Amino acid sequence: MTDPNMEFAALLCSRLCHDLLSPVGALNNGLELMADETDPEMRQRCLDLLGDSARTSANKLKFFRLAFGSAGGYGDSVPAHEARTAIEGMYAAAGRVTVNWMVAEEALAKLPAKILLNLALIAGDALVRGGQLDIGAEHRDSVVEIVVRAEGPKIVLDPELRAALGGATSSADVTSRSAAAWMVHTLVAGVNGHIMLSDPADPVLLFGASLPA
């Protein structure tokens, strides 16, 4: 019998490998071009390609370390600026998405930080033609409120991801594509929190999560 935890870990690994394939492949292509290129201008272009691909790979790894990993080295909380840097590196660095950071807290507990990062991942991926991500988190009384809003010329949230976020997907039906959404639902439900999703017909995409502090 397959261990469901191992199966889910494999799905997350598949997602990570899928996202890293393009920049790492570009690194390999750049190195191959450099090996045979003698023209100084073309060699500079190869170096530029290698630099861009290396930065993209590093940004993605930093993001996935916080979003999917245990965020080791940060103690019980993650500095808010680290989460912001990870999200901006993942999306804003390419120039297609603007990140509007509205988190006044200096640090977020690891669970809210992980949920915020994964909601930002889902919302950012839905901005297929770029746009703006508004990200907020606030600790009020005994509750942590997280809001992620995506606005752009074309927003596409796969029904599979919407179902996983809303708890309409069983663990057996989770895929590498919906793994992050299913993880968010599972983590929030595990602490008796709540997730809010905007209607598919709304012109903007809005996620909300309410967690006991």
Q: Answer for the pair 67, 114: CB distance below 8 angstroms, yes or no.
A: yes
Q: Is the dihedral of CA 64, 65, 71, 73 positive or negative?
A: negative
Q: Which residue has better confidence, 162 or 47? A: 162
pLDDT digits (tens, 9 = 90+) for 161-189: 999 999 999 888 999 999 999 999 999 99
CA separation, residue 25 to residues 33, 73, 184 (Å): 12, 30, 30
What are the strands of the beta sheet with 97-103, ordered from one edge?
A: 97-103, 131-140, 143-151, 205-212, 194-197
pLDDT tens figures, 196-211: 999 999 999 999 999 9
DSSP at 155: B
Tell me the whole-structure pTM to 2 decimals: 0.90
By C-alpha distance, which of 120, 77, 125 is closest to 102?
Answer: 120
